[in-house]
Structure 1
Amino acid sequence: MKKLLPLAFTILTSTYASTANAENSWYLGALYNAQEISIHGRDFNAAGVIAGYQYNKYFALETRLSTGTSGYSSFYGTPEEPWGSYSEDIDTQASILIKASYPIFNSFKLYGLAGYTNTKIEINGLGQHNDSEGNITGNYPYKHTESESGFSYGLGLDYQINAHFNVFIDYQVLPDFEPNSSFSKDWESTSIGVSYSF
């Protein structure tokens, strides 16, 4: 799938670049997405806004800004006596994307996305202090942010409700989750949303 998406995007852009001649317009919208990292339990949900400029019938430049609505969490100990905890969620996720569209029916368009995505993940936890014998003597909170960024790409389907409103669904491959140089996992996102052109 990862090898086919860039090829599809290249075909869309090269085939229709010379024939595009629609009116320019701005659009705004909202989205909700489900994201999955290929680690058990590392699923995120996020909501956000989009803003874009439609250069012509086939090409647009789009930005997306989201924040997490649910993330991953765990605890140490027992539910009755947790002596440590850990949680991570998306603080902010920002993308700038080239969007290449191709009409397939009267109101439907298939589109490809390619661009750059930066994600900041906020990590919170509760650690413990131990004495020389390993006994827990107290807790302390900790908090930090990790950032992942790089090339992202995907495919989507857009349905035009009327002259101004569209709904869409798309799938993207995000930059790999790499908290350190020896650890890398796939990161995917499925989004649904609505946009208004003016």
Structure 2
Amino acid sequence: MKRTLIIALTAATIVFSMSARCENNWYFGAQYSAQEVTSQPDRELESVGVIGGYQFNEYVSIETRYNTGTSGYSHPFYVVGSPEAKYKEDIDTQISLLIRASYPVYNGFHLYSLAGITKSDYEITTSSSLTDLDGNTTQTYPYVLKFSDSGFTYGVGLNYQATEAVGLFVDYQVLPELKFGSGSSNDWRSINLGITFAF
């Protein structure tokens, strides 16, 4: 039994290695991500990043995505003696490790599903200023809180293979629930647009 198992594993490894040499390739690219956190009020966040992946065959890939925030949510709030107090939420960094299962549908178009884990680092910044009796701003006080959330993520997408080397994609991703400070957890979704280059 042991010998049969060893032979089977060896044969599978050889077949996999041959397949890897013939079909597999690395790909790299960039993406833009428009994200929404369902809360009161809803938060709209934006990020840009890079993608790196390895395609095992026509159907299965593993990839990582690394994003950094470019636009966050902000609003003014009232603090006695500080007419310019502000509140802001921003994505710092966001990294995902994903398995992508693809299926060709028509002339270079592939439907795919994503599943994996995402870790998001984000920060909340509040700023207020002291005003003296003459109405002059004397000092501004920023206060930054840093948070991190991670968990299961999944999604679906469509890829168009424009050439052998260049692919264009759009996908919808459900991110781990986000909890701002001590508040309740909120649904977090993103729509991603990007381009990849195979090597």
Q: TM-score range by the shorter chain?
A: 0.7 to 0.9
Q: How many angstroms apart in 2 are the aligned matches of 1:160 and 1:129? A: 57
Q: Secondary structure at the match of 1:112?
A: strand
Q: How many angstroms apart in 1 are the aligned matches of 2:84 and 2:45? A: 25
Q: Secondary structure at the match of 2:84?
A: strand
The offset of 1:169, in angstroms, is: 0.1
Matched residue, 2:30: 30
More helix by share: 2
Q: How many angstroms apart in 1 are the aligned matches of 2:93 and 2:118? A: 11
Is 1:73 aligned with 2:54?
no
1:1-198 matches, cutoff 5 A? 23-39=23-39, 40-77=41-78, 82-127=83-128, 139-179=140-180, 183-198=184-199
The offset of 1:124, in angstroms, is: 1.4
Q: How many angstroms apart in 2 are the aligned matches of 1:73 and 1:125? A: 10
Q: How many angstroms apart in 1 are the aligned matches of 2:91 and 2:181? A: 18
Matched residue, 1:6: none
Q: How many angstroms apart in 2 are the aligned matches of 1:163 and 1:150? A: 34
Q: How many angstroms apart in 2 are the aligned matches of 1:41 and 1:153? A: 21
The offset of 1:58, in angstroms, is: 0.5
Q: TM-score, normalised by structure 1?
A: 0.80
Q: Secondary structure at the match of 1:82?
A: coil
Q: 1:58–1:101: 8 Å Cα contact kept in structure 2?
A: yes
The offset of 1:128, in angstroms, is: 5.8
What is the percent sequence identity of the aligned residues? 48
The offset of 1:182, in angstroms, is: 6.0
Q: Per-residue CA shift, 1:137-177, capped at 9, x if unaligned?
A: 96521112111110000000000101100000000000001
The offset of 1:75, in angstroms, is: 1.1
The offset of 1:184, in angstroms, is: 1.1
Matched residue, 1:16: none
Structure 2 gaps, min length 5: 1-18, 132-137
Q: 1:75–1:82: 8 Å Cα contact kept in structure 2?
A: no
Q: How many angstroms apart in 1 are the aligned matches of 2:175 and 2:65? A: 13
Q: TM-score, normalised by structure 2?
A: 0.79
Structure 1 gaps, min length 5: 1-20, 131-136
